[in-house]
Structure 1
Amino acid sequence: MAAGLVISAPASGVGKTTLTLALARAWRNRGLNVQCFKSGPDYIDPAFHAAATGRASVNVDSWAMDRGAIAHLVSRGVDADIVLAEGSMGLFDGVAARGVSGTGATADIAEMLGWPVVLVIDPSGQAQTAAAIAAGLRDYRKGVRLAGVVLNRVASPRHEDLVRRALDDAGIAVFGALPRHAEISLPKRHLGLVQAEEQAEIGKLIDEAARFVAEHVDLDAVLRAAAGWSPQPAANGLNVTPPGQRIALARDAAFSFVYPHMLEAWRAAGAEIVPFSPLADEAPDANADVCWLPGGYPELHAGRIAANARFRSSLQSFAEMRPVHGECGGYMVLGAALTDADGVRHEMTGLLGLETSFAKRRMHLGYRLAELAAPMPGHQAGARLRGHEFHYSTILAQPDIPLAVVHDATGAVIAETGSRRGHATGTFFHLIAEDR
């Protein structure tokens, strides 16, 4: 029987990912089979989980997915010794309006699966107050169980002692305390961590984190705190229709933000995925019946994309007869032009009239519910799609026919409607699931 835990915190930036990776690798080094998941819409962390465990990780999201879909996804952990779900933001942080099965909060997943929570607490600039925060989180919502805490970035033995005593008085277990250790900090950029595949030393970094955490955290006590868990058979799986039978998928450092569960669902439905690299000036597979450009960091490679004539011309030819769809960064590349952070305008593929700019950064962040006004690959007009948008670009022009009416999580209509022209479609949101 597998055992499950949720790794969470009071806020972002406290060290959840580092602790999750370290625990996963430390237990794997002991011969345990470890399965990770990511609660919420983050599409970067699952690749780090896979690097640490050797097993694919997927997202589970209570705003976008129903309980059947979540049960289907987590059932892959049935053969694991320990299952870790890494949270997003703070433990109870979600949107104001409930989605399919919750608000997107990590606490939803903890309660739904019955897994206890290990809190990562950063007591920098405080001492006993850290215990008050942990106690507040423990008592905030019935059905969410606190297993204990790991302290991160403690300043000194005296600091650690003060916090430990306060937590002990509150009846909260302390599994360990980590001194500050800059060498295991994971590199970041404007959309979060630098992607795992871009870091040649990621294995060594995770090994160092595992060694460090094993020295300061009682791994056996954390393991004992996990809840025994036997996944229940899901009545239904993901409601995902592949965009085509043979899918040409852009896949490189500029196009990598695609949810692993989507690719798995496409393959499970019988689709074949053929990757190609726009950065290497490759063309989409000539025998594919659809081309899909995920999001990523096209703004960091805009000059190179603009100069890659073979990629651009082949995509234009592809779109004359077959559908092409882009998500977020992929949508921007399907547009007319992209202006980078230095104010340099780069011509893109021109399949759509969209023009975007990073010269004046503006954050767009949040869940999206789109009602399609026209078909897009894999989905018919009228379909209700749930996704997540996160980028820093400004729309300079979006002249084509809107693809959808798009709402944020509060129900407000937003301007990022997506576009369609001929066989080309695009959205700013990354697709997570279709409403049943």
Structure 2
Amino acid sequence: MAASLVISAPASGVGKTTLTLALARAWRNRGLNVQCFKSGPDYIDPAFHAAATGRASVNVDSWAMDRGTIAHLVSRAADADVVLAEGSMGLFDGVAARGVSGTGATADIAEMLGWPVVLVIDPSGQAQTAAAIAAGLRDYRAGVRLGGVVLNRVASPRHEDLVRRALNEAGIKVFGALPRHAEISLPKRHLGLVQAEEQTEIGKLIDEAARFVAEHVDLDAVLHAAGKWSPQAVANGLNVRPPGQRIALARDAAFSFVYPHMLEAWRAAGAEIVPFSPLVDEAPDASADVCWLPGGYPELHAGKIAGNPRFRSGLRAFAETRPVHGECGGYMVLGAGLTDADGIRHEMTGLLGLETSFAKRRMHLGYRLAELAAPMPGHKPGARLRGHEFHYSTILAQPDTPLAVVHDATGAVIAETGSRRGHATGTFFHLIAEDR
């Protein structure tokens, strides 16, 4: 049986990812097999988990996935000694309307799997109030069990003592306290952390985080507070169809936002994935039967993409006879033009008429439920697709036929309907699962 824990916090930006990576690497350095998961829709953190553990990490999402799918995904931890699920946002933060098996909150996963929660508490600007926050989170939902807390960014020994005393009086275990340590901060950009594959020193950074946390956190006490978990029999697996038999997948620093469980489901269904890099001017493999452009950061590379003739002409030729689909950033590249942060317009591939601007920035964030009005690769008309949208680009024009009727998590219809023209389709949301 594996020691199982959920790493969560009262809010974003408190240090969940850093603590998760540090614990994972510290226990791996002790010779333990560590498996990580990410609760919620995040395409960046699983790559950091893999860098820390040497094992692939996947997302588990209570809004988009049913219990059978989640059980199937976590069963990969059957041979692990330690299982860590990193939460998103605050412990109970989700959407107002329930999805397939919950609201998307980290607490859903903790309760569903019976894994105790380790809270990361940042007591900056407070002392005893930190204990009140932790106690409130402990008592808010009966099915969620708090294992203890790790304090982060503690200002001084006196500050630590005040917070520890208050937590002890509240009956809450303190596993350790981390003083401020700027050297292990992970670099960020507008959609979150700079991707693991872009950081050449990521291994050293995780090693330093593990050393630092091991000095200040009682790793044995954390393991003692963990749950004892073993996988249950799973009646059903992933409800994900591959978009084709041989899939040309754009994959580089501009096209990297794809959920690991999607690629695994495609391969499990017998599909072959053939990666190519638009940034080095590669075209999709001519022997592929479908091309998929995931999201990423095309707005940071728009000039290079616009200046790569082999990629642009190769994609256009491919789309004359076979389907091409783009998600978010990939959708933008399928469009006619992309205006960057400096207000410079770059010509994209023109397979769709979409015009987008990163100069006019406005955050678009949330779960999406789309009912397809027309087919897209792997899915028939009428299919109900669950996904997530997160970008800062603004639509200037979306002239093509809508691909779907798209609702947010409250049921409101939104303007980002996706588009279709010929063999090209695109959406601003990233697909997570199809309703059964």
Give the structure-2-normalised TM-score: 1.00
> What do you get for the CA RMSD once the two structures are aligned?
0.3
Q: What is the CA–CA distance in structure 2 between the aligned matches of 1:14 and 1:20, rounded to whole Å?
A: 12
Q: Deviations over 1:315-339 (max 9, x none)?
A: 0000000000000000000000000
Shift, 1:233, TM fit? 1.5
* Unaligned segments of structure 2, at least 5 residues: none
Q: What is the CA–CA distance in structure 2 between the aligned matches of 1:143 and 1:240, rounded to whole Å?
A: 30
Q: Deviations over 1:383-421 (max 9, x none)?
A: 000000000001000000000000000000000000000
Q: Deviations over 1:175-212 (max 9, x none)?
A: 00000000000000000000000000000000000000
Q: What is the CA–CA distance in structure 1 between the aligned matches of 2:191 and 2:125, rounded to whole Å?
A: 27
> Identity of aligned pairs, percent?
93
Aligned to 2:423: 423
Aligned to 1:192: 192
Q: What is the CA–CA distance in structure 1 between the aligned matches of 2:204 and 2:225, rounded to whole Å?
A: 28
Shift, 1:227, TM fit? 0.5
* Unaligned segments of structure 1, at least 5 residues: none
Q: What is the CA–CA distance in structure 2 between the aligned matches of 1:234 and 1:331, rounded to whole Å?
A: 35
Q: What is the CA–CA distance in structure 1 between the aligned matches of 2:361 and 2:49, rounded to whole Å?
A: 30
SS of 1:42 mapped into structure 2: coil
SS of 1:279 mapped into structure 2: helix
Q: Deviations over 1:307-358 (max 9, x none)?
A: 0000000000000000000000000000000000000000000000000001
Q: What is the CA–CA distance in structure 1 between the aligned matches of 2:136 and 2:93, rounded to whole Å?
A: 14
Q: Deviations over 1:254-307 (max 9, x none)?
A: 000000000000000000000000000001001000000000000000000000
Shift, 1:2, TM fit? 1.0
Q: What is the CA–CA distance in structure 2 between the aligned matches of 1:263 and 1:166, rounded to whole Å?
A: 47
Aligned to 1:337: 337
SS of 1:132 mapped into structure 2: helix
Q: What is the CA–CA distance in structure 1 between the aligned matches of 2:55 and 2:149, rounded to whole Å?
A: 26
Shift, 1:234, TM fit? 1.1
Q: What is the CA–CA distance in structure 2 between the aligned matches of 1:6 and 1:188, rounded to whole Å?
A: 23
Q: What is the CA–CA distance in structure 1 between the aligned matches of 2:234 and 2:367, rounded to whole Å?
A: 25
Shift, 1:360, TM fit? 1.3
SS of 1:59 mapped into structure 2: strand
Q: Which runs of 4+ in 1 moved over 6 A?
A: none
Q: What is the CA–CA distance in structure 2 between the aligned matches of 1:420 and 1:302, rounded to whole Å?
A: 22
Q: What is the CA–CA distance in structure 2 between the aligned matches of 1:11 and 1:202, rounded to whole Å?
A: 25
Q: What is the CA–CA distance in structure 2 between the aligned matches of 1:3 and 1:30, rounded to whole Å?
A: 14
Q: What is the CA–CA distance in structure 2 between the aligned matches of 1:75 and 1:2, rounded to whole Å?
A: 11
SS of 2:278 mapped into structure 1: coil
Q: Deviations over 1:196-251 (max 9, x none)?
A: 00000000000000000000000000011111011111110010110000000000
Shift, 1:91, TM fit? 0.1
Q: How many residues align?
A: 436
Q: What is the CA–CA distance in structure 2 between the aligned matches of 1:182 and 1:198, rounded to whole Å?
A: 20
Superposed, which structure 2 residues align to 1:27-426 within 5 Å? Answer: 27-426=27-426
Q: What is the CA–CA distance in structure 1 between the aligned matches of 2:12 and 2:102, rounded to whole Å?
A: 20
Q: What is the CA–CA distance in structure 2 between the aligned matches of 1:354 and 1:224, rounded to whole Å?
A: 54
Q: Which moved more, 1:188-197 or 1:225-234?
A: 225-234
Shift, 1:3, TM fit? 1.7
Q: What is the CA–CA distance in structure 2 between the aligned matches of 1:220 and 1:432, rounded to whole Å?
A: 36
Q: What is the CA–CA distance in structure 1 between the aligned matches of 2:74 and 2:4, rounded to whole Å?
A: 10
Q: What is the CA–CA distance in structure 2 between the aligned matches of 1:196 and 1:331, rounded to whole Å?
A: 23
SS of 1:65 mapped into structure 2: coil
Q: What is the CA–CA distance in structure 1 between the aligned matches of 2:159 and 2:241, rounded to whole Å?
A: 54
